[in-house]
Each structure stands twice: as structure tokens, then as C-alpha cells.
Amino acid sequence: MKLSPLQIERYKYQPKLPAMLRNGINEISVKEGKETTSVADQEKIKALFPNTYGKKEIVFEKGVNTSVNKKQIVGVILSGGQAPGGHNVICGLYDALKATNKENELYGFKGGPSGLIEDDYVVFDDEFINAYRNTGGFDIIGSGRTKLESEEQFAVVAEVCKKHGITAVVIIGGDDSNTNAAVLAEYFASHNTGVQVIGCPKTIDGDLKNEDIECSFGFDTATKTYAELIGNIERDANSAKKYWHFIKVMGRSASHVALECALKTQPNICLVSEEVKERKMSLSQIANYIADSVEYRANHGMNFGVAIIPEGVVEFVPEFSTLIHEINELLAGSKADAFNALPSWADKYAFIEKGLTSESMSVFALLPQGIQQQLFLERDPHGNVQVSLIESEKLFSALVKDVLVERKKNGTYKGKFSALHHFFGYEGRCAFPSNFDADYCYSLGYNAFMLIQYGYNGYLSKISNLSKPAEEWVAGGMPITKMMNIERRHGEDKPVIRKALVELDGKPFKYFEAHREEWSKETCYLYPGAIQYYGPREVCDITTITLLLEQE
């Protein structure tokens, strides 16, 4: 297989570890902290996790390794969507495992959690692992979105582990995957299987974080990749001077990606879903907010601009959420068949007018026909609207255009408005990891094995002090149950890891808020350029602006 020059060089990169993990396996000791409680619903979470709840936080430090020296056979899976650096978690896990005992083995289960259930695996060796060091993607073993949540599944996984003599399972995933890890750990403990479960925090969306998890891996690389593209578009917009670019970025539940990209590139507009919800902004208010920037810039000779839109923003607009709910009710059960049988869009539109409340119909009427049809014609197997498929970047540019038409009639707007649309998602999920993510992920994997070696179960691999150089990072672990609360999911109360949304009183948003009016009127674009792997540490190893602001 022919390799690119960059790929060859990245294979040679030796990720940096926290100082205490570089002491050598025999010189890593553990320091236990205080017992933990869940972030909310303590009694309910404790009742659901009697064997793994309330465990102590731990930190690794230099000292004598007091763990029991035994052969370890570890299984690992990649779960959920891809995130840059996943390969390095596995590489770090493998290296620590082999450094402890050459007889230790690492099984990679293919295709995510389903690989554990179907006993589909590969046993890693040096040659296999070396081909994936510091590379992007999850192609080393693939990933999947099967959930491990039923007693039947747990029993099958336990049998697979018993068959291979597996002593621990490492689950690399986001909030749902690590929730599943906690439940599996509890099952293993309650059934005395002797199998440990360790989680690693992954998601480019950045919503798996809290006082212990400073950031999830992949967020750094993904936002740098998107910011490079946004910066390129800003340069093009400032060169052509005739287009407004509406750019949708990933982040259905939280706007961390959009906010970080805005901090990196200083666009004219960036919507933050959490603010939209907090202020109860309507579609019309959002459209007018964007149109204000378009009008000001046009009236000052700048018929161009850039707007960043989080993919899930429409779900945070109260009136739009109500509309979605009414549509789902309108098409429930056999009513969907009656709707689908109508011969034309005009007939369907009449059906819709009769079925929606006047308030929701007024919102629906605002929408471009293409978006209207998406809401009704593209539904999931349960008949519900697939909100993630809504082209919100096109929705808002169309609404802005309508506002500007009216303003032109009134004589306040004298410019030209031409919109172009982009969606950046898959472009960032499998990029070559930045030095930060390469180092962070390798440390997470290496650290995960230390948690296994010391016998911990139901813990998340934790690397903190991330705004400092890697040598100053702190390695340790925390019980996954500490991050959990009870939420209503599909009509049932479920223990889940609480998602971290953008905090409107947090330093990253406050910095953005203080500068966005200037950015909306002037051309203040920043051009981050491509991810740098070689050169000064201040250029190559720096992490996200979000993390730097939060930790300052």
C-alpha cells in the first residue's frame, strides 16, 4: 500500500505523556481521593448502581507500583461516530499493556459494541498497531451504534469475555456509550464475573465534559479542521466581495463546535443554540438579527459575509419545537397513510392547514417550500420528523432574503444579497489528529490500562490540566456514575451522563458576546490555516480557545 509523505512522518511521531506516566510502569502509584456522588438524583443512581456507585476519584503519581502482577487480556471497542485520535487511544492502551507484561493481549472487537456480542475480533500485534499510530479515523476495527443496555446482551458479552479469558473491556465513546459502559460495569460486578470496564471520553461535539473531563477527544482536531475551511471561505468572501456564506457545523445538542470555530475565525454571525433557547428567540427574530448585519455591511459597501449555524439550532427555537411536535402528532399512526396518499403538494398543504394550530401554521408558512417538504416527506421509521436532516443553513438564508426584500421596499436596505451554503461535518471526524489530540488520546489509552492494572471498574480514564504542556498533565480516573443523572428517554426514566451545553455565563461565550457586535459589522476575519504538526510548540501543540479561556 502506498503511503503519503505525511502518513509516513506521522507514524514516527512519539506522543507525549504526562510526567507521571513516563516514569515507567513499575514507578506509577495510585493516590485515592474522596468518595463521589452523582451530579443529581443521588438516591436513584445509587440504587441502580449499588456495586459501582460512590467509588473514589484517583490520581496516578510517581511511586512504587503496588498493583497485582497478573496476565491481562483486554478487549477494546470504538463506539458511536468517529473522532480524530481514536487510533491513538488503542495504541496507548496496547503500549502500556505490553510494557507491563509481554504476555498481555489486546483484542479489538470489530464494528463497535456489536463486535462484542457477535464475537468478531482481531488480536493486535506490533505490526498491526504500528500501521495506525497518529492517524485519523476508526478504520482500525470500525465502529457502530449498537447499544449495550439489556440483560440478554450483557450475558452474551460476559460469555464472550469468559471464552477468551478477557479481564477488562475498554469502551471508547461519547456520553451514551459511556453510560452503557457504566451499566455493563455494574452487571459484571453484580454477577462476579471478574471483568472490569473502563471508558474513554470521545465526541467531536464537545458536550462530554464537566469539572473532571476538561474536553472530549477529537474536539480539538475537528474544530481546527472546520476553522481552516471557514477561514478559507472568509478569505474567498473578502476577495470576491459578493457572497454571504451560510455554514452549518456539527452539534445537534450543543453549540461548542460552532462557538469554538467562531472564536478561531471571527465570522460576522454565529448562532448559539443555547442562547436561542434562553432568549426564546423566534425564527423571525433570528432572521432579523442576521439581516441587521447584512444590511449594515451592504450599506457600507460590503455585500458579503459569513454566518456559522449549529446543525441543531432549529430544535432550540420554541415555536419550531412546537411545530415539530404538532407535525409528529398530525402524522401519527394511520393518518400518515392518508397524508401520503394525497396526489399533490397542494393537496398535502391543505391537509396540513387543517391539522395545525393557527400559531404553528403561521410558522410553517414562513418556511421555504423545500424546508416545508423536508418536514413532512422525510421522516424516521416511527413517523417523526428527522430534524437533523433539515438544512438550517438554507432555511435561515431564505428567511433573511425575505426580510431584506421587505427592507428594500422600505428603502433601508440598498445592497445585494447572494447566499452560498455549506455543511461541515464528516470533513472533521477522521482527520489526522492534531498533536494535542494525538498526545491526549495516547495518554487516555495508556492511563486506561493503568486503571485496569490497579483493578478499577466502572471508571473513566481521566487526563486533566490540559491547557498546560503535556508533561504537566495529570492522569487518573473517576467513577462514571459521578457524571450521571436521571432523564426521561422514550417514555422511561433512564440513568444517563448529563450532556454539557454551552454555558452562557462561561468565559468562552462571554468573550464571544463581547466581540460579536464588532465582528458583525466589520471584517475581522482570522485565517487559522491548516493544522500544524511540526514547528514551535506554541503553534503545533496549542489546544482549543474554549479550553484556554475556561482554564485561564
Residues catalogued as catalytic: 205
The answer to whether 162 touches 193, Cβ cutoff 8 Å, is yes
Q: Which candidate, 354, 313, 347, 531, places its Cα nearest to that of 435?
A: 531
- CB atoms under 10 Å from CB of 9, counted, come to 13
How open is the CA angle 68-171-438, to the nearest 5 degrees? 95
Helices (H), ranges, 19-174: 42-48, 86-100, 113-118, 126-130, 151-164
The answer to whether 248 touches 518, Cβ cutoff 8 Å, is no
Grid coordinates standing for 101?
507484561
- Specify which residues 109 forms β-bridges with: 121
How many CA atoms lie less than 13 Å away from 477 in the CB half-sphere? 31
Helices (H), ranges, 49-146: 86-100, 113-118, 126-130
Widest pairwise Cα distance in the chain: 80
Helices (H), ranges, 245-377: 256-265, 273-278, 283-299, 318-330, 335-340, 345-355, 358-366, 369-377
Grid cell 460495569 — which residue?
185
Grid cell 456539527 — which residue?
250
Q: Which candidate, 434, 468, 487, 526, places its Cα nearest to that of 220?
A: 434
Torsion-angle region of 333 (φ positive above 0: left; ψ -120 to 50: alpha; else: beta): left
End-to-end CA distance of the chain: 45
